[in-house]
Amino acid sequence: MTIWGSDIGGSIRFPSHFNGVVGFKPGKFQVSSNGHFPADTIPLQKRMSGMGPMGKSVRDMELIYDIITNTTTTEQSLDDFEIDILSDGLNIPLSQKTKDMVGGIESYLQKSVSVNRSTPPYFENSAQLWQEIMSLDGGKSMEKLAFNTDRSNVLAAYAKEKLTRKTKVHPYLSWALIGAKLFKPTAGRIKEIEDIIEQGDKEVADYLMNRLLILPVYHTGAPLHGKVFQEIFSIRKTFMQYMPYIAYANVWGLPSLTIPAGTDENNMPIAIQVVSMNGNEDAIFRLGKKVEWKFGGYNRCSSLD
């Protein structure tokens, strides 16, 4: 079985990571968004979104991508690529189990390909850029779609929803809209963002020309329900800690393949992403198959059989 998703901030990669399945977020403009709801109307947001599949194997993702993409995939060899794994020591959280998993993948790959540790260009400010781009219109477009009544006092509505729990609107949505209003960038900052994106596209493309990047997906395996929302949507800007791994592929419009590769201390699945630039999808899938073969990939949960 294959499930379809759209990913502007992890909506393919989060469920793949937390549930132990394989997922693929295509790069910017590689799969048509015609008919997608909500429609992409803001250019900087449109480039962050990718429509793609989730399923049981890297091979399934590759076959489906070949069907849905607007482009022709070019055959590639891993011998022509360097493999970069995100540097240790960055000031963002990562569980020890995830560090151990990534280290195991590094040791395995070093036997057959060139592997380095590095921090890709613009990695450390991508979470900030992601939040600002998501807040460009202060949430107005989503508010208009989601509500047919006046939500001008969204804070009061949020308080009512949170306290009474008798509303049709989930307080998570109201809280996300509050965040979009709080983090809406000024006109001057929007111009700065546009300039950063224009320059960054060139630098990121140069970096990834013949390189595949391995990133974690999240700092832990699946937490208790609601915990991820609290970590990402907080006025304390905790998205700066928890979103960098995910936000990088969105901000720069990069294809990203999520592969289950281990389990955490609660025996919940944890995964890695293989990321590169548009045009390197064949190499992404090849590396994904190597990781999948060695570290297990999808494993059916039999506890409810």
Look up residue 239 and give its two tokens. 């998205």
The pLDDT-based confidence of 150 (bands split at 50, 70, 90) is low
In the block, tokens 């194997």 appear at 57
Q: Percentage of residues in the chain with pLDDT exceeding 90?
A: 70
**256-263, strands of its sheet edge to edge:** 3-7, 50-55, 22-25, 256-263, 269-275, 211-216, 82-86, 114-118
Q: Facing residues of 65 across strands?
A: none
CA distance 256 to 231: 22
Are 167 and 239 within 8 A, CB to CB?
A: no
Reported pTM: 0.91
Look up residue 202 and give its two tokens. 């060139």
In the block, tokens 């006109």 appear at 187
Torsion of CA 32, 35, 37, 41, to 10 degrees: 60
Are 27 and 52 within 8 A, CB to CB?
A: no
Most confident of 226-230, 235-239, 284-288: 284-288
Q: Facing residues of 31 across strands?
A: 69
Residue 297 pLDDT more than 60? yes
In the block, tokens 């995964």 appear at 271
Question: Which range among 9-23, 92-106, 205-219, 290-304 shows the weakest confidence by mean pLDDT?
Answer: 290-304
C-alpha distances out from residue 175 to 45, 88, 159, Å: 20, 33, 9
Q: Facing residues of 305 across strands?
A: none
Mean pLDDT of the chain: 90
